[in-house]
Each structure stands twice: as structure tokens, then as C-alpha cells.
Structure 1
């Protein structure tokens, strides 16, 4: 939308206000769904127990939901309001379902070896909460990228969003499992038995970084041809994963230039080092995501059949 007059500004603001109200309503719905789909009771954990681990988990889920919902606002400011609100509601319900499903998949396939509910509720394990939080943020970022794609109509858009989410989840789980297998430290030991919050934050930030990279691959993906565009998007996401994996050790070394940061985190639970390392991880992921997003081709456009204007020869 091109803003040029005061009337256009107010029209744009009113349009944006309606979109924001619907988005916040969907965020509230996600909060309610989260309470009903987990065995942990928010009132008990937040008020009676003052459980900071649960607070980290819930905060990350709501943040991941907001990130995903931001994707449903992509290029909606210039569309007709009533159809846009209906499409947002449909997309919002779908993304809430996919976000919860993605978190459950990550819990079973990535955060294996311990019960997340037990670690957060009974042990108040902030390391486990950071891992679960990184998983929620990663899934929200994947959905954000999936919702920015180009499809032919609402129904096809919902289908393509689900397909892109599935592609992103496969890449996310693959990268996370490879990380656990190749790491020289035992994440299960550090988190469950040592209650190492710094190690949990390191792994959670890696998951969030993977989500950023996958989002870059999914951003504005044209899905008019499923076989071609779906495969291209998958290859782009895998390429981004490999590039991120190659640069990740550089970031680990960047934290403490003269020595490895692993010992400080694994042996001493140094949260200061882990915070800096997490920031470096997310920074590298952001740069990789932006770099591979530039490779994505623009959506196909119909050829312009308008004849060129007649030219008048100079006298």
C-alpha cells in the first residue's frame, strides 16, 4: 500500500488494527490450546510453584506462535479486509495445530531419553526448558517461512503450508539428531542428570538457529508446481543446513578466542559463556538464512500482453 495522504494513513492504520486484533486473538487461542494439550497446569506451575523452567517453556511457545502468526500477515496490508480476516483465521488455526504437533515431534525424536514434563515440573530443569523452548521457536520460524509462500487460493495455500512445514520439520529433526550424534558431549547426561542449564541453552539456541536457516529456505517459496518447487525447497534447506553446520564450529571458537568454550559449558555450567555462544549461533544462522533466501526465485508472473506504447520519432 502506498501511503500518500492523511486519509490513506488512517485507512492503513484501521486495516492494520483489524489484522492485529485477529492475530492477538489467535495468540490467545494458542495459549488456551497449550494449557489443554500438556499435562502441566499453568496456574500451578507459574503461581503456586513459581517454576522458572515452566515459565521459559511457555514463554518460548508463545514467542514461537507469534513468530508463526507474523507469517500470516505477510503482504496482507494491501488485500481486501474481510477475505483477509477469514484467511487469517483459517491459517491461524492450522498453524496452532502444526506448532503443537511440531513441538511433540521434536520432543519425541530430538529431546529423547527423558520425560520433558517430569524434568520441567518436578525437577524444574531449566536446561530441559531451554531445549524445549528452542524447539518451539524453531517450529514457529519454520511456519513463518511456510506462510510467506505463493499459492493459488486459500485451500492450496493451506496445503502448501502443511507441505512446507513438513519439509522444514524433516530438515530440523535431521540436523538436531546429527548434532546429538556428532557432539563430543552427552546432551542427555548434561541436561537430565547434571541439570546443566548452560548446556540446555546451547542446544536450544542451536535448534532455534536451525529454524532460522530453514525459514530462509522456505521464504516466499512458489508452490505452483509441487514436484519441482517442493524438491527445490528441500534441496535449498538441506544446503542451508550443511552451510550452517560448517560455520557453527567457527562460532563456538569465536566466543573464547584463545580456548574452547565447550569445557566452560560442559564442566562448569558457565551461563555467561553459553549466553554469548547462543548469540553467536543465532547471528550465524541469521546470516546463513539471509544468504540462502536470496537464492529463492521470484514467483512466476503472467506475461504482460499490453502492447508497447507507440513511439514518436524525434523531429
Structure 2
């Protein structure tokens, strides 16, 4: 029995760093909640517990989940730099991640879904827009996490590289939105996808969320092909754009084939666009995310 279990010795300093990093992570997650309230110029406690604004809660949940995803990229597994350096790096990357999340939300509001006021829609308890907003933030977080794992150290070159790749990723996500709008208008007598979101069509929000999340996973595949070099920012930028577009295209092709096979015999446009079938939309979202996860795992 004495040989049945074998535990590696734990360095007290490593354990202390782990506890400190968890404390910093919880602090940043709590800070996110209050910053989110400031962003909406409201009291988050009132919105969650008094007004019972489910859309606000879903949107906030996306922000907290997104920051949690980012922090998994900020936590390094090797503890080689010492406690002070490790904690400073994590806190700095966490704060930078929060800033980029808000920038991502701003880009999505102003460029992707520019025809509706997402902030007002969420204040008006539009759950559909809350879902879309949460998905856009999580998609941004997935990309930021990949960047954190891609760059080396916390220095001006790393920050520039992250912001450059972030800009490329947001461009691709915006392009995806434009394509989805065109597709929706084509099969719905030129109706607007954004107006459908404003009208509260949850099925469309689920499908769109799956497309955003799967695209973000595809874009992160660029980090597997490109080596980080602090002196080649322009090359990094072009590389992220090219590989991001190629992987997004490959993911879309695979997802389309998978949907035709898995959802054979079901008219997706009729079920989701016209009948607002949340069940079918949920399956579509799961297929999109599942294919993207498998594709990125195979390439990692």
C-alpha cells in the first residue's frame, strides 16, 4: 500500500505563488463586476437582484467568464521568475486583458452590431442581445488568451504584438458578422439580422454565438503556425490575418458539412430564422464549437 500513491514534493514558494495568484484572480473577477456596472452607468446589485434584469446578468456572466479565460493564459506553469515577478506579470496581464475585453466590446458595438444600441437593449432586458454580447466577449477572451500564451514576457514588444493580433482578430470577427448578415438577408427577404436581435429572437442569437465562438477558436490557430519574434511586428500582423482567415474558412467548410450530416432532413433556415426553434439553434451552436475545438486540437 505504501507504493500505491506517490506524491511529488511541493515547493512552499510555489504553493505560496499559487495561493497569491488565485487571490489576484478572484480580486480581478470581482473588479470586473463593478467595472461592468460603471460601463453601463448602473448599480450591478440593483440590476441583478432588484430589477431582475436577466439580460444584464447574462452579459455580465460573459464578461466574468471571459476574464477567467484570460487569466488562465496569464497564469504561467513554471514559476521560474520568482514570486514578485510572477504576481506582477499576472496582475498586469489581467488588467491588460480587462482593457482589451472592453475594447473588444466597443468594436463589436460600433462596427459589428452598429445598427442597434446594445447597452440600451440590455438595459431594456433584451435577453437575445445579452446572449450575443456575452458570446462576443468570450470570443474576444479566447483570442486574448491565445495571445498571452503566444508572446514572451511582459514588455512593450509583447504588448504591441498582442494589440496587433487583437486588431486582426476583431477585423475577422466583424467580417464574420457582415457575412452572417448577408446570409440572413438573402434567405429572409432582405430583413436585418440586427433588427431580429432587437426583436428578441433567441434562436438566432444562439446560432450567431456559436459562429463567433468557433471563429475565435479558428483564429487562435495562427499561434500554432507563427513563432513570436519581438522585432517582426508587421510580419506577425500579416501572419495572424492570413492564417486566421484560412482557418476560419476551413472551419466553416467542415462545420457546413457536419451540419448537413448531423441535421439531415431539417430545414435550418425555416426552423431557426422563421420558427425561432431554439433547440435546432442550440444543436447548430454545439456543432460549430465542437468542430472548431477538434480542428484547433488537431493542429496544436
Q: Same fold (TM over 0.5)?
A: yes
Q: Deviation at 1:40?
A: 4.4
Larger Rg belongs to: 1
CA contact (8 A) 1:213 1:241 kept: yes
Please give the residue correspondences for 1:200-219 in structure 2 after superposition, counting only pairs within 5 Å. 200-218=205-223
Do 1:71 and 1:148's aligned partners in 2 also have CA atoms closer than 8 Å? yes
Q: Please list, as runs of the form range in 1=range in 2, the aligned pairs for 1:1-315 lying within 5 A after superposition.
A: 6-8=8-10, 11-122=13-124, 124-151=125-152, 154-183=155-184, 184-185=187-188, 186-193=192-199, 195-218=200-223, 221-224=227-230, 225-291=232-298, 293-294=299-300
Deviation at 1:41? 3.5
8 Å CA contact 1:214–1:289 kept in 2: the answer is no
Unpaired segments ≥5 residues, structure 1: 295-315
Q: Which runs of 5+ in 2 are unaligned?
A: 1-5
> Structure 1 or 2: larger helix share?
2
Question: Which deviations, in whole Å up to 9, do the C-alpha atoms of 1:83-131 show, x marking residues without a partner?
Answer: 1111112211111111101111111211232111222222x22211111
Q: CA deviation at 1:288?
A: 2.7
Tell me the CA shift for residue 9 of structure 1: 5.6
Tell me, yes or no, if the aligned pair for 2:161 and 2:236 is still in contact at 8 Å: no
Quick one: distance in 2 between partners of 1:39 and 1:211?
29
CA contact (8 A) 2:25 2:71 kept: yes
CA drift at 1:162:
1.7
Query: How much has 1:241 moved relative to structure 2?
Result: 1.4
The TM-score with structure 1 as length reference comes to: 0.83
Say what the alpha-carbon RMSD is for the aligned residues.
2.3
TM-score (norm 2): 0.87
**Count of aligned pairs between the two proteins:** 288
